[in-house]
Amino acid sequence: MAVTYEKRLVKPPQTNKWMDLLFLGQSPDKYFRNLITPFNIIAAIIMAVGIPLTYLRFTEGMGAVSNLTNTNPWGFWIGFDVLAGVALAAGGFTIGAAVFIFGLKKYHLVLRPAILTGMLGYMFVVVGLGFDLGRPWRLPYPMFVSHGVTSVMFEVGWCVALYLTVQMLEFLPTAFESLYLRKLRHWAVKLTIGVTILGITLSTLHQSALGSLFLIAPTKIHPLWYTPYLPIYFFISAIVAGLTMVIFESSLSHRFFHSRINPASNADLHDITIGLGKAASAVLFAYFCVKWLGVAHHHVFGYLNSPMGYWFLVEVVGFVLGPCLLLLWAVRNENVRWIRLGAVWGILGVVLNRINVSMVAMNWQADEIYIPSWMEVWISMMVITTGILVFRFIVNRAPVLAPHPDFIGEPEY
């Protein structure tokens, strides 16, 4: 039986706190028996197939597991794992900006899960990138060995590495709380404002820089998707992804980690979800308007009446305006369930946009059409599953969803 939040407030006698932390206060036998659940079985199957595929990719090369070619060198791993992954990990910087910069303190409740989701998101983006690059030990080369200062990649590489470090620093107070390291926590809390500002700056830079990567290919990308505004599109849609991911993640945490949440915060979460839904709706509408500005500015209305044009309309009307209007309606009616549904729709829209820019609209005139192999998709599934498992492991052990009982009332920043 799960231990409720109130019961956890009563400090248990600490026999061996490290073992308690690792096995959640249960005996190892009982802990491992409890691990046999439908989700864990599915995760085990994904890993059991994914690990040999990983071995195959790193021993036999990219061609053994992927359909990538010289014509289509960027595929599912870049479009989904990296571009969509970075956007969906934007929750940390959007909520950080709301709480620390705009002073919206009520969102503090979702700050820690947002930072954790962001940190893990970036970590697994780097893992996904490792599959694409092939020699992960050479990841630091552009930074320390061979500087490509004229490349957008150089900026993206530096920003992602620095931002991952920043997110780790932002997460330190939570980690120190779970390890009862009071002095270190005090020191880490003092850094919060500084690292948050640094995090927002770095996020702004690299979210837009990921869009800038595609500015080099004006002749390869379909005119409806190619525009010099791509960096702005990527940045605005990353804010959408961040807000909607926080709504989605908080609703899942509420459902699956109920014993870790203070029941008194339910009403707060209701207000927070409405607030986030409202912000997401406004940003989605702004994004919708800016998308049409791009089309108008480049005189590409003519392309709308073509198969690619119809697909563009599916993306912009179906996956930008659609969730925007649903969120508007749900916010006006204070319907949290529909806000959550709108958030999922918005997330799918951002993922679709990244796949469209990097895969569908890219090389749209080429004879060779890229369709990812099942092994590429499976490896991505394995990376995501690992991310979820690590998230669950940390949330079950660290005070992410609710304050640590021993640190209530202590300064948070």
Partner 1 sequence: MEFNTLQDFLLTTEIYSYLTAIASVIAFGLFWRVLNKKPNRKKNKPSDREIKTEINIHRSYQ
* Residues making contact with partner 1 (CB under 8 A): 1-2, 4, 258-259, 263, 266-267, 270-271, 274, 278, 281-282, 285-286, 289-290, 292-293, 295-297, 299, 328, 331-334, 336
Task: Give whichever of 195 and 284 is closer to partner 1, judged by the CB atom.
Answer: 284
Alpha-carbon gap, residue 337 to 344, rounded angstroms: 11
Distance of CA 358 to the CA centre of its chain: 18
Rg (CA), the chain: 22
Minimum CB–partner distance for residue 312 and partner 1 (Å) = 16
Task: Give whichever of 160 and 327 is closer to partner 1, judged by the CB atom.
Answer: 327
Alpha-carbon gap, residue 259 to 266, rounded angstroms: 12
Please provide residue 224's backbone torsions phi and psi, each rounded to the nearest 5 degrees. -70, -25
Minimum CB–partner distance for residue 200 and partner 1 (Å) = 23
Minimum CB–partner distance for residue 375 and partner 1 (Å) = 40
Of 116, 95, 91, 90, residue with least CA distance to 107: 95
Strand, helix or coil at 319? Answer: helix
Provide the 10 A C-beta neighbour count for residue 149: 7
Bridge partners of 362, per DSSP, are 221
Minimum CB–partner distance for residue 192 and partner 1 (Å) = 30
Minimum CB–partner distance for residue 57 and partner 1 (Å) = 42
Burial class (CB in 10 A: 0-12, 13-18, 19+), 178: middle
**DSSP string for residues in 265-303:** GHHHHHHHHHHHHHHHHHHHHHHHHHHHHHHHHTT-GGG
Task: Give whichever of 19 and 282 is closer to partner 1, judged by the CB atom.
Answer: 282
Alpha-carbon gap, residue 394 to 412, rounded angstroms: 19
Alpha-carbon gap, residue 224 to 245, rounded angstroms: 27
Minimum CB–partner distance for residue 83 and partner 1 (Å) = 25
Task: Give whichever of 56 and 290 is closer to partner 1, judged by the CB atom.
Answer: 290
Minimum CB–partner distance for residue 292 and partner 1 (Å) = 6
Alpha-carbon gap, residue 176 to 42, rounded angstroms: 32
